[in-house]
Amino acid sequence: MSRLRRAQVVLLAIACAAVQNACSAKAPAAVPDIGVEVFESSADLRESLQQKASVAFGAPQSSPLTINVDDAVTYQQMDGFGASITESSAWLMYNKLSVAQRDELMEKLFDPVKGIGLSFLRQPMGASDFALKDYSYNDLPAGQRDPALTQFSIAHDRAYIVPLLRQAIALNPQIKIMASPWSPPGWMKTSDSMIEGKLLATSYPALAKYFVKFVHAYAAEGIPIYAVSMQNEPLFSPGNYPGTLVTAEEQAVFIRDHLGPAFRAQNLDTKIMVFDHNWDLISYANTVLSDPKAASFVAGTAVHCYGGSVTAQTQLRNQFPDKDIWETECSGGAWQPKNLLSEQVGLIIGSTRNWAKGVILWNLALDQTNGPHLGGCGNCRGLVTIDTNASPSTTTLTVDYVALGHASKFVSPGAWRVESNSFDTGLQDVAFRNPDGSIVLLALNSGSTTVSFHVGWSGRSFAYTLNPGSAATFRWRPPGQRE
């Protein structure tokens, strides 16, 4: 074979090999569609947690309004969402509803499948403004004292508060309960009353023992207490319902020298939260957490929404990154503007985007006159309205139920908040990854015009449109995960 012929043969072989390799190479895999469940509520609540037609992730698309979810970037781990079974709520549910009505309502509130799966409760230790009368767990005649707490008893709560808490736990065993006193027993205070006054310095040991006895007594009823705060709204002293003024310095001393050591001596793992008051007063928490010994006993800070901005939570977190934050009270009421769903869902989004591990509204249930209550708020709204004028009584689920349901039904305790971008427009959002791997995105159109946007995740995207004031929860499972 000539030299030229041999070269031609070699070139032909190379060309054939190249063609063969090109033909055998695999084409790029198509992006598989991933189904996304959608649950939407309209501003007028004509649709409430309504399951809509599923959408699907497809090939990525670019849009100026794209919510990009990155579940590889995690923030705080969630405890849950809920309200408070105040004495007023418990009395109404236990005495103004039939057993069948109560069971149905409790299922709607606490069952994660048949209801919205509320999972985080804040319980008053004794009377709050939403109670039938002033009471503590160690009431005495005026002028008497009981530093050994020989008269301590939670018998009052056994009538209807304890049974409802037990029922809630049976429906949702993942429930966490925190507790706060509106006032210690009156004999521990300068006023010798649950109304007004300050905690006597000589009562610090007795109050620490009071907390220990409460935690033990509730545990004996099958109700574990996840956390406590020393005092509800310690910088406010109401004149017609229980309250106690406690300075930040006093709270630091009480936790540092009394409550923390008392819990440790009893091997209690109940968390201690500081503050429990409004965003605009959050320097109070800063003072307590700046005491190293007090802070060593503290899990984090409880906050309320009635003053200031939610961004105070992030400012505090930046100062104390090892301490958690919980939003522990925010009532809806008649003072709110007409776009109630937007207000309440916006609270959930804002609180969790600013490090809250839980969001608790206020009363679980109130009657048609926003009661019963001792004083204070006369136009607060519960998650449920129980109309006692009707015969038999009727129940109505309010906007607060719907708003909480957009999170509590889909975001499981133990979920991580994950990265998602936000916008300066009316489009708000927050995202979570559940312990089972499913991903949840809560989106709200708080603006006055319809918003169309994309959701991007893991190289995929889908498009969606929300009407003004509407909210939607999206849930999907990464490939390979089972329900």
- Given a cut of 50, whether residue 3 has pLDDT beyond it is no
Q: What percent of the chain has pLDDT above 70?
A: 93
- For residue 81, name the pLDDT band (cuts at 50, 70, 90): very high
Three-state SS for 311? Answer: helix
pLDDT at 317: 98
Beta-strand relationship, 439-445 and 471-476: antiparallel
Catalytically annotated residue among 40, 87, 196, 329: 329
pLDDT at 482: 56
Domain boundaries, the chain: 34-75+418-476, 79-413
Q: Can you read off the two tokens belonging to residue 323? A: 């301490």
What is the tens place of the pLDDT at every residue in 302-344? Answer: 999 999 999 999 999 999 999 999 999 999 999 998 899 999 9
- For residue 424, name the pLDDT band (cuts at 50, 70, 90): confident
pLDDT at 61: 87
pLDDT at 32: 58
| Burial class, 474, CB count within 10 angstroms (exposed 0-12 / middle 13-18 / buried 19+) | buried
pLDDT at 337: 85
CA distance 191 to 198: 7
Q: State the Cα torsion 224-226-227-228 to the nearest 10°.
A: -20
- For residue 10, name the pLDDT band (cuts at 50, 70, 90): very low
Superfamily of structural domain 34-75+418-476: Golgi alpha-mannosidase II (2.60.40.1180)
Instruction: Find the mean pLDDT for residues 47-74.
Output: 95
- For residue 24, name the pLDDT band (cuts at 50, 70, 90): very low
Q: Can you read off the two tokens belonging to residue 380? A: 């607060």
**Closest Cα partner for 211 from 185, 235, 236?**
185
What is the tens place of the pLDDT at every residue in 197-245? Answer: 999 999 999 999 999 999 999 999 999 999 999 999 999 999 999 999 9
Q: What percent of the chain has pLDDT above 90?
A: 90
- Given a cut of 70, whether residue 171 has pLDDT beyond it is yes
Q: Can you read off the two tokens belonging to residue 46? A: 């004509």
Catalytically annotated residue among 40, 87, 196, 233: 233
Catalytic-residue membership of 107: no
Instruction: Find the mean pLDDT for residues 261-272.
Output: 98
- φ, ψ of residue 248 to 5 degrees: the values are -60, -40
CB atoms inside a 10 Å sphere around CB 287: 16
**Closest Cα partner for 181 from 118, 137, 223?**
137
- For residue 33, name the pLDDT band (cuts at 50, 70, 90): confident
Residue-averaged pLDDT of the chain? 93
What CATH number is given for 79-413 in this structure? 3.20.20.80
- φ, ψ of residue 332 to 5 degrees: the values are -85, 160
The separation between the first and the last C-alpha atoms of the chain, rounded to the nearest angstrom, is 69
- Given a cut of 60, whether residue 7 has pLDDT beyond it is no
Q: Which helix (H) or strand (E) holds 204?
A: helix 204-220
**Closest Cα partner for 242 from 306, 191, 303?**
191
pLDDT at 481: 66
What is the tens place of the pLDDT at every residue in 344-387? Answer: 999 999 999 999 999 999 999 999 999 999 999 999 999 999 99
What is the tens place of the pLDDT at every residue in 87-101? Answer: 999 999 999 999 999
CA distance 238 to 134: 13
Instruction: Find the mean pLDDT for residues 271-275.
Output: 98
Strand runs labelled E in 78-222: 80-84, 120-124, 176-180
CA distance 277 to 152: 27
pLDDT at 343: 97
**Closest Cα partner for 434 from 77, 86, 194?**
77
What is the tens place of the pLDDT at every residue in 128-151? Answer: 999 999 999 999 999 999 999 999
Three-state SS for 15? Answer: helix
CA distance 127 to 282: 25
Three-state SS for 323? Answer: coil
Catalytic-residue membership of 329: yes
pLDDT at 425: 84
pTM of the model: 0.92
